A and B are shown apart, each in its own frame.
Chain A
Amino acid sequence: MRRAAWRLAVAVILLWAGWGGARAAEARYYRFGVLPLQSPTMLAKMFLPLTDALARGLDHPVEFVTAPSFASFMRRVRRGEYDIIYLNPLLYTRARKAGYRVIVKVAGEPFTGIVVVRKDSRIRHLGGKGLPKGLKIGFPDPNAYAATVMVRQYMRSLGLSVKRDFKVRYFGSQDSALMAVYYGLVDMAGTWFPSLRSMPAKVRRDLRVVAETPPQPQMPIAVRSDMPPRVAARLRHLLTHLTDSAQGRRVLDHLGFKQGFVAATNREYDGVKP
């Protein structure tokens, strides 16, 4: 009898604590984790207007956060530290295993990786035998899907082995990889169009795209599975209707995603492979 009473008391305490914790979690910020594709300040410039708009729409504060590296970002994803994540399709396939589900993806522009060189470079394309050996190529991160994975897959399809034919350097972010090309630290860099567009005009003018990979499913925005469906639905609605208002379009201008977001499902990312 006494043991039963103790169990009941412990259960009540745990329930109370769980209820309080849930309330606290609900009361605090939704954490919007963005894959460190670019420098944190650059990402903040892009995504803070979006988190602001989402906070207003959800009537709940939304915190923009990124991570020092792809690896640390994914560790946090695995620990479920983010409520909302923006990442590349490849990493999304891993995030799914950590309990995230896609709600929208970037609309319009095909999701491709590109290879850029300096405008004055003699490299015009990657195919053929005219490409000298020992070229230096820069990537943001081994896990950067468009910039690294897709570019490497595309090069493999052209008969080029990155490991064999190039000297590879990783610069941590898209910006750094692009700046490395600009300053001549590497001969070419794998990246993607949104990052190229976000570079200063002077840098953009001195860079040239020499290759673009075949398209893949666009960058997804996913939410953690324990997010209340009502909130997830509201989030999807807000994201897919940004193009409907001038304010929303200004948000998209900051992001560089002119056509906004469209609803997406997990099935679209089934074919994404490393």
Chain B
Amino acid sequence: MTDMVYPLPAEPKVSFFQTLRFRLIVSVALVHAILMGAFVWLAVTKQSENIRTDLINRAHALTSLMAVASTNALLSENLGSLAEITGRVKRQPDVVYGAIVDIRGDVLASTDPAQVGHHIDLARRSRRSHVLDLRDTVRAAGQPVGTVLLGMSTRALDAHIAETRDQGVAFILLAIVAGSLVAGALSYVITRNLHTLMGAARDIGGGHLAARVNIRARDEVGLLGGAFNAMAESLEATSDQARREHEKRTDAERLACVGELSASIAHEIRNPLSAVINSVKLLGHPSLTAADRTQAIGILNTETQRLQRILNDFLDFSRIRETRPVADDICALIDEVAHLIGEDTQARAVRVHVQSADRPCRTLHDPDQMRQVIWNLILNSVQAMPDGGDVYCRLVREGALVRVSIADTGCGIPDHLLERIVRPFVTGRKQGTGLGLSIVQRILMQHGTRLEVMSHVGAGTEVSFTLEAA
């Protein structure tokens, strides 16, 4: 006996996005993105803050310096000195504008000479984008005597911040790509062994119990591989043991079956053979009357016919050929059998009814074998109703199957026979050989189905089986 090889189920299609590999890559990329994002955000924020603080401090220092430097010139309205101050301020980096305004709001000096002499409303000065506007009050003896205005460009600052941010984003992307590559390599190393395990598991699932994995890793996957191999060893040993047990049991059952069959045949043959022997002995007796002779000859005929029928049935049982299923109309087949049987049973007032929602009703079956099945089952029903009755043949669609049921209103099968009724030489009738239902069951098993029997004594019997719809 060889190992059983089972057809493997189709390998389930797993999207790449559902694999451990993808999840590991995404996890690492996500962690990189979050960590680098936080780091870059902090760095950019800190650097921006430092640069902004530096600019603001520089602007404040310059403004204060302007205020101090311009105090005397402002008080004395020394426009030349004030112009020199604003001129020097203008030369400072990032300075957009600078102006010195007296207490009235009149511009005494400005980096824009066109503004000098004009009055400006300090409270309503419009703000310009990318310009840091600062002002400082010029004080003398603790009292305000004027105001210095200074505008510092933040364009360089903004550009620097943008550059830092862009660098940060580039770092994040680089980290994600690098992390994903590393994660991809790592996941390949990890899942490679898992794939090996999966393949071996599929082999074992397919019946190749000798499948083993060779995983050298000393990690959890390595341990899993070892456990898998141990499991496979145990499974193979158990399978071998089960196979040996099965062989033993099969041999014993076969021997028992041969014995039982021999006993059944002997039992079935012994009675008619005894009658034949006795009749032959009786025919040789000199004092035999003509009437006795005629009776003995009649017994000889009856019992030899019975012996012949037993042998024919037995041959039929033993010579059931291989099934050749084709798509065929089971309903027409039942109609045909019912018609033939109906011709024989009309005198006994048995009515055969065929009921089907679908006509034709095509199923996969061997027509010759299935004809024998239907014939045997309907004939059993007819024989169960010696006083007449109804036989109902129904075809019912059950999804991809068609259930064929044959019910009668006969005497029913006693409970003690119901479980064994499909075994050879088990029958509830004196004239039966007990091989009809055995033949039916065997043919149905070759069709991948089996006979189901429901019966109530005095109420009737219903037998059914399913066929694959064509």
Interface residues of A (CB under 8 A from B): 28-29, 36, 39-41, 43-45, 48-49, 52, 61, 63-68, 72, 76, 254
With A66-B75, A67-B76 as contacts: A44 and B145 at CB distance below 8 Å? yes
When distances are taken between beta carbons in the complex, the residues of chain A under 8 Å from B145 are 44, 48, 64
13 pairs of residues in contact across A and B, judged by CB atoms under 8 Å? A40-B73, A40-B75, A41-B71, A43-B75, A44-B141, A44-B145, A61-B104, A65-B75, A65-B102, A66-B75, A68-B76, A68-B80, A68-B81
Residue interface bits B403-431, CB-to-A below 8 A is 1, else 0: 00000000000000000000000000000
Interface residues of B (CB under 8 A from A): 71-78, 80-81, 102-104, 140-141, 143, 145
CA distance A164 to B77 in the complex (A): 36
CB of A122, distance to nearest CB on chain B (Å): 36
When distances are taken between beta carbons in the complex, the residues of chain B under 8 Å from A49 are 141
Name A63's contact: one of B72, B80, B103 (CB within 8 Å): B103
CB of A60, distance to nearest CB on chain B (Å): 12
CB of A32, distance to nearest CB on chain B (Å): 11
With A28-B104, A39-B72 as contacts: A65 and B140 at CB distance below 8 Å? no
Name B75's contact: one of A29, A44, A52, A254 (CB within 8 Å): A44
CA distance A36 to B75 in the complex (A): 10
Name A40's contact: one of B71, B102, B103, B143 (CB within 8 Å): B71
CB of B459, distance to nearest CB on chain A (Å): 124
CB of B409, distance to nearest CB on chain A (Å): 126
When distances are taken between beta carbons in the complex, the residues of chain A under 8 Å from B141 are 41, 44-45, 48-49, 254
The answer to whether A63 touches B102, judged by C-beta atoms less than 8 angstroms apart, is yes
CA distance A61 to B104 in the complex (A): 9
CA distance A66 to B102 in the complex (A): 12
CB of B40, distance to nearest CB on chain A (Å): 51
CB of B83, distance to nearest CB on chain A (Å): 12
When distances are taken between beta carbons in the complex, the residues of chain A under 8 Å from B102 are 63, 65
When distances are taken between beta carbons in the complex, the residues of chain B under 8 Å from A66 are 75-77
With A40-B76, A48-B143 as contacts: A29 and B104 at CB distance below 8 Å? yes
When distances are taken between beta carbons in the complex, the residues of chain A under 8 Å from B78 are 67-68, 72
CA distance A59 to B76 in the complex (A): 24
Closest to B140 in A: A44
When distances are taken between beta carbons in the complex, the residues of chain B under 8 Å from A67 are 76-78
The answer to whether B103 touches A41, judged by C-beta atoms less than 8 angstroms apart, is no
CA distance A68 to B108 in the complex (A): 14
CA distance A67 to B140 in the complex (A): 15
CA distance A49 to B140 in the complex (A): 11
When distances are taken between beta carbons in the complex, the residues of chain B under 8 Å from A43 are 75
When distances are taken between beta carbons in the complex, the residues of chain B under 8 Å from A76 are 77
When distances are taken between beta carbons in the complex, the residues of chain A under 8 Å from B81 are 68
CB of A141, distance to nearest CB on chain B (Å): 13
The answer to whether A45 touches B77, judged by C-beta atoms less than 8 angstroms apart, is no
When distances are taken between beta carbons in the complex, the residues of chain A under 8 Å from B72 are 39-41
CA distance A66 to B77 in the complex (A): 7
CB of A35, distance to nearest CB on chain B (Å): 11
The answer to whether A36 touches B140, judged by C-beta atoms less than 8 angstroms apart, is no
CB of B199, distance to nearest CB on chain A (Å): 94
CA distance A67 to B78 in the complex (A): 7
CA distance A254 to B78 in the complex (A): 24
The answer to whether A63 touches B104, judged by C-beta atoms less than 8 angstroms apart, is yes
CB of A42, distance to nearest CB on chain B (Å): 9
The answer to whether B76 touches A36, judged by C-beta atoms less than 8 angstroms apart, is yes
The answer to whether B140 touches A45, judged by C-beta atoms less than 8 angstroms apart, is yes
When distances are taken between beta carbons in the complex, the residues of chain A under 8 Å from B80 are 68
The answer to whether B143 touches A52, judged by C-beta atoms less than 8 angstroms apart, is yes
Counting chain B CB atoms within 10 Å of each CB, the highest count among A44, A48, A67, A76 belongs to: A44
Closest to B119 in A: A28
The answer to whether A48 touches B140, judged by C-beta atoms less than 8 angstroms apart, is yes
CA distance A68 to B81 in the complex (A): 9
CA distance A40 to B102 in the complex (A): 14
